[in-house]
Amino acid sequence: MRHLGNWRAAFFFPSTLALVVWPGAVLAPGGGENARTAWFEQARFGMFIHWGIYSVLGRGEWVMHQEKIPVAEYEKLGFQFNPTEYNPREWAALAREAGMKYITVTTKHHDGFCMFASELTDYDCLSTPAKRDFIGELVEACRAEGLRIMFYYSLLDWHHPHYVPKPKWVEDPPGHQRDFSRYLDYMFGQIRELCLKYKPDGIWFDGGWEHSAEEWRSEELMRMIRELLPNAIVNNRSRLPGDFDTPEQRIPAAPVRRGQERCLWETCMTINNHWGYAAADHNHKSVRQLIHNLVDIVSKGGNYLLNVGPMPNGKIQPEFVVRLRQMGAWLKVNGESIYGTQPSPFRTLPGGGCTVKGNRLYLHVFDWLTEPLVLEGLQNRVKAAYLLRDRTPIEVRQEGTRLTILPAALVPDPYDTVIAVEVEGTPKVDLAIRPAADGSIDLPARFAEVHGQTARYEFGPERDNIGFWTDPSDWVSWDFLVTQAGTYRVEITYACGPGQEGSEYALVVGEQQLTGKVKNTGGWGKFVTETLGELTLAEGRYTLAVKPLTKPHGAVMNLQGVRLRR
């Protein structure tokens, strides 16, 4: 019997197309970057599959790391991995029934085990009792079902003897010297194998956090992929921008942008709390929550990559199957409002979301209306409004740029009732921020216009701000409306790390200007609110800008927002 730890040297021949440029895949609002990425923007919903020999233990895909299992001990799982009930046609058919348009599957996770037949190692699927090319069979099944398929590949590798840094719990043989260049040759060789042998629609990298793009030779890697698969898309986890961003287990508060333009992005998320099979994890999201997540993501211009972690026998857990099928049933009725749509033209839609296709707005109402729903800023005349499911007319009133949807006596969808609103022309909305009920005007970072090359909106844990503000010529602005003339107290909320304080800035509205100096708040995620002064404003439309005056250190600040209080 072969020892699973054997690996072979990979001889990588650098790409000869040295002038191939890796695109940033920034989208102009309302359109796809090109035919290569258009299918991804149309798809909106995909299946993520985390499957490997870790499923034998049933404690998630990080079990080797979390339990510090020695390499030789972990390798034994390969001899126990015999998924006799693995039927890739069932997986692909389930994805299709769920309304998913593509599958992204783990070809190699951080544990280093290859779920594809590799010529460069014995630590692969052919060394299991099944002796099956799991990835090859799934590719064929996806093609038969009309699904796209992308390959997840972990850049880091806890198993390979030349990966650095060496995992702390792994013991090397006496005298062994790790050579990262040898690991890179192996990694390049495997990615070349995957591209040439299976021809996936995209590569989904992960595990790049332990090295820089230069150390990974990411530009060279991207050129190779583009040479081998000119139409493939690649994510942003090789430490380069790639074609699309990949927030994990979270939904951004606003559409994701690169500079001033929105870009392709995809939220990956689990149904329970684990990516790989975890037998004791029964904390499953409800169908209602999953559909709301889908709508929220698509309303902001993103894709939803929803994960399943198959069991070691090759079956997908029934708890996952029933949820996916119910999502598919909803999409059969309401898919028009998801696939191929553009993000909401409105800042927010209370209690739901909004998508756009052609001259139609799709209003997603999570809890059916008991009070009128008011939407501000619509500049098009409404021609018709009706339920998407059966074209039942919905009464609306339009006064100037205010659209009011009136409650109707009907049985709502248990998850999300979709109203289609047809307008004259392409929907256009005035995005000037309007006062709250108490007259205050909130200008959050997520709604700011960023002017410049480095500053951008950040989201995530302790992040909901304009960050990466390293160029003092960058500035941000908001358009807003004043409906009550008077004097407004101006508050600014920001964070700044130790030793980076001292930047001076101006807050400008028309001819009025207030200035401030950034203080050390104790960390880039520790936000404080300060009062800058007062502005006297008549009724009307204004632009508020925050512009740096000086930047003595690395960055100006992390700006969370500005508030005007009466």
Q: What is the pLDDT of residues 330-359, one digit of tens each?
A: 999 999 999 999 999 998 888 899 999 999
User: What CATH homologous superfamily does 441-565 map to?
Assistant: Galactose-binding domain-like (2.60.120.260)
Q: What is the pLDDT of residues 353-385, one digit of tens each?
A: 999 999 999 999 999 999 999 999 999 999 999
pTM, 2 dp: 0.91
Q: What is the pLDDT of residues 224-274, one digit of tens each?
A: 999 999 999 999 999 999 999 999 999 998 888 877 788 999 999 999 999
Averaged over 135-148, what is the pLDDT? 98
Rounded to the nearest angstrom, the gap between the alpha carbon of residue 368 and the centroid of all alpha carbons in its chain is 29
**CA–CA separation, 196 and 228 (whole Å):** 7
Cβ neighbours of 493 (radius 10 Å):
19
For residue 262, what pLDDT is reported?
Answer: 85
Q: What is the pLDDT of residues 158-202, one digit of tens each?
A: 999 999 999 999 999 999 999 999 999 999 999 999 999 999 999
Q: Is the pLDDT of residue 118 over 70?
A: yes
Q: For residue 49, give Cα distances in angstroms to 27, 100, 151, 282.
A: 28, 13, 10, 18
Q: Is the pLDDT of residue 100 over 50?
A: yes
Q: Where do the structural domains in the chain lie, given as residue ranges?
A: 35-333, 352-423, 441-565
Q: What is the pLDDT of residues 386-437, one digit of tens each?
A: 999 999 999 999 999 999 999 999 999 999 999 999 999 999 999 999 999 9
Averaged over 124-134, what is the pLDDT? 98
Q: Identify the CATH number of the domain defined by range 352-423.
A: 2.60.40.1180
Radius of gyration of the chain (CA): 26
SS (H, E, C) 41-108: HHHCEEEEECCCHHHHCCECCCHHHHCCCCHHHHHHHHHHCCCCCCCHHHHHHHHHHCCCCEEEEEEE
Strands, E assignment, 334-401: 352-357, 360-365, 373-376, 382-387, 396-399
Q: How confident is the model at residue 7 (pLDDT cuts 50, 70, 90)?
A: low
Q: What is the pLDDT of residues 196-219, one digit of tens each?
A: 999 999 999 999 999 999 999 999
Averaged over 452-475, what is the pLDDT? 91
Both tokens assigned to 530: 């300060």
Q: For residue 262, give Cα distances in angstroms to 234, 265, 343, 349, 454.
A: 17, 9, 10, 19, 15
In terms of C-beta density within 10 A (0-12 exposed, 13-18 middle, 19 or more buried), how is residue 280 classed?
Answer: exposed
Q: Is the pLDDT of residue 562 over 50?
A: yes
Contact 189, 10 (CB under 8 A): yes
Start-to-end CA distance of the chain, whole Å, equals: 78
Q: Nearest CA to 156 among 226, 64, 78?
A: 64
Averaged over 508-535, what is the pLDDT? 97
Q: What type of residue is 508? A: V
Averaged over 125-133, what is the pLDDT? 98
DSSP percent split of the chain into helix, strand, coil, nearest 5? 20, 30, 45
Q: Nearest CA to 354 among 406, 413, 448, 420?
A: 420
Exposed e or buried b for every residue in 192-205, given b needs 16+ CB within 10 A? bbbbebbebbbbbb
**CA–CA separation, 156 and 168 (whole Å):** 14
Averaged over 437-455, what is the pLDDT? 94
User: In the predicted model, what is the mean pLDDT of the chain?
Assistant: 93
Q: Does this chain's domain 35-333 share its CATH topology with 352-423?
A: no
Q: What is the pLDDT of residues 26-45, one digit of tens each?
A: 443 334 457 899 999 999 99
Task: Kindly report the length of the chain.
Answer: 566
Q: Is the pLDDT of residue 13 over 50?
A: no
For residue 1, what pLDDT is reported?
Answer: 31
Q: Is the pLDDT of residue 519 over 60?
A: yes
- Stated as kind and residue range, the H or E segment containing 140 is helix 134-145
Q: Identify the CATH number of the domain defined by range 35-333.
A: 3.20.20.80
Averaged over 275-292, what is the pLDDT? 98
